[in-house]
Amino acid sequence: MITVPGFEGRRVAVFGLGRSGLTAARALRAGGADPVLWDDSLSSRLQAEAEGFAVEDLSRADWSDFAALILSPGAPLTHPSPHWTVQMAKDAGVRVMGDIELFARAVSALAEVERPKVIAITGTNGKSTTTALIGWVLRQAGRTVHVGGNIGIGVLALPEPTPDAIYVIEVSSYQLDLTSRFGPDVAVLTNISPDHLDRHGGMAGYVAAKRRIFQEQPPGGVAVIGVDDPYSQGVARGLDAFVPVTVAAPDSDDEWTPRVDDMDGVGLRAGWLMDGDERVADLSTAVSLPGRHNAQNAACAYAAVRAVGLSRDEAVRGLLTFPGLAHRMEPVARLGRVVFINDSKATNTDAAKQALASYPRVWWIAGGRAKDGGIADLFPLFGRVAHAYLIGEAADAFAAEIDDAAPVSLCGDIASAVAAAAHDAADWAEANDEDAVVLLSPAAASFDQYPDFEARGEAFRAAVLGLGAAPPVIEDAGA
């Protein structure tokens, strides 16, 4: 656990006792603070009491006595309206922050020679894979690495800082909104597309939240930006220097150049990862990184690890041995000539677009709780859909949008969709003597049927294995 100094002997309000909130309370207490906790959930309050924390209804508290409010990223800071704790804090002149800001304050309190390196990753899509990939590459190179934040465990639950350590932190737009001093040595923005607009008051607010990852970088800090979308390009133009990442140029292009400014960068050409104009890795051999979107993840990861001192060979060796991340284009099993891919993390159309574009033909399982705009953006890829199997609240709406572009079955739940897709894909594979791909890439949130995308992905895995499919054999990736 990381100890948070600066609040010794002072009361600190903590609202929201999920992964980040309870961990923040522990870190504050370890640093000498007197945290006062509250959550709408009785079970969460009981857990906090069992750990000896003061649990107090913050709606009745004396806010003039608090040094800060530590807010769960799940509670709205500004939109659609500020959470009631935020309003009470502001009325009392109390600072509002989150666990990432506490981490930043803990690191900045160290003497400069004692500080670890920090790599932070954000973006609409790809940030979890890029975070895990950076952590993997660094570990394979023998570095001391701690991975957390919006992925895995809360950032304050990571080990205490040491000068040789590198923290690899995934940060969401919600978490970035709660920062003021967070200044990673390497900041990575994978991409930006419309998402969470209700929480940021529109696209401008969402982009501004993502931009915060760069605002407090130290002298010599490195900004890595995927520049294949206009929003990220706008962020890049506001910086004095950055490493551009692009995979948008067609593979047939003879020349590869960054899309923003005339600067050397990292990108993709004819399947090769390029460092400037030099080929460094054949990404077609990285079996856990299929598709152009994963090429972007690999390019961002490559730029980030090079920025903290890895050699080109160390970086490439790690990229090509990455075993992949659950629920992100994850091959979960094979049944005869049918391969099953779990992309449950694709909760919006931009992510699903990348998955559909990775295969020439798919038996597609989609649906859930639809995001604004439905799946209209996927229309150019419907020709790749051999058959769509629709689930959840969005099934009827998605069927209407697909219309006659592909055959559609309304399946309701994942188990029914998997059974139908597996049967149809197997028939096609046998008739054509080719492999067939059953792809779960929902293009929708999971909350109509599951608590999160992980639970949805595990339901898909269970249904697939229930058919008798064999999990993939994981070979030793080496050191």
Q: What's the whole-number mean pLDDT along residues 221-243?
A: 95
Residue 11 in contact with residue 34, Cβ under 8 Å? yes
Q: What is the rounded distance in angstroms from the CA atom of residue 314 to the CA atom of residue 321?
A: 11
Give the list of residues 6+ apart from residue 99 with CB closer than 8 angstroms, or none. Answer: 20, 21, 23, 24, 70, 154, 155, 156, 175
- 478 confidence band (pLDDT: 50, 70, 90): very low
- 292 confidence band (pLDDT: 50, 70, 90): confident
Residue 243 in contact with residue 216, Cβ under 8 Å? no
Q: Which of 466, 468, 459 is nearest to 440 (CA)?
A: 459
- The confidence score (pLDDT) of residue 249 equals 60
Domain boundary among 320, 349, 369: 320
Q: Are residues 406 and 451 in the same domain?
A: yes
Q: How far apart are the first and last CA of the chain?
A: 27
**Could you tell me if residue 325 is inside a domain?**
no
- 93-107, 412-426, 462-476: least confidently modelled range: 462-476
Q: Are residues 129 and 164 in the same domain?
A: yes
Look at residue 8 and tell me whether its pLDDT is greater than 70: yes
pLDDT, tens digit (0-9, with 9 covering 90-100), for 113-147? 999 999 999 999 889 889 999 999 999 999 999 99
pTM: 0.79
Q: What's the whole-number mean pLDDT along residues 211-224?
A: 96
- The confidence score (pLDDT) of residue 270 equals 85
**Could you tell me if residue 201 is inside a domain?**
yes
Domain boundary among 82, 97, 112: 97
Q: Which residue is listed with tokens 């929201």?
A: 16
Look at residue 344 and tell me whether its pLDDT is greater than 80: yes
**Could you tell me if residue 4 is inside a domain?**
no
Q: Are residues 292 and 382 in the same domain?
A: no
**Residue 190 belongs to domain with CATH number:** 3.40.1190.10
- The confidence score (pLDDT) of residue 93 equals 97
**Could you tell me if residue 471 is inside a domain?**
no
Residue 242 in contact with residue 188, Cβ under 8 Å? no
Q: What is the rounded distance in angstroms from the CA atom of residue 15 to the CA atom of residue 37?
A: 6
Give 60's DSSP letter: G
Domain count, the chain: 3
If one counts every other C-beta atom within 10 angstroms of the C-beta of residue 59, the result is 9
- 473 confidence band (pLDDT: 50, 70, 90): low
**Could you tell me if residue 6 is inside a domain?**
no
Q: Are residues 137 and 157 in the same domain?
A: yes
| Domain that includes residue 41, residue range | 11-97
Q: Are residues 70 and 159 in the same domain?
A: no
**Could you tell me if residue 187 is inside a domain?**
yes
**Residue 350 belongs to domain with CATH number:** 3.90.190.20
**Could you tell me if residue 477 is inside a domain?**
no
Q: Are residues 20 and 109 in the same domain?
A: no
**Could you tell me if residue 417 is inside a domain?**
yes
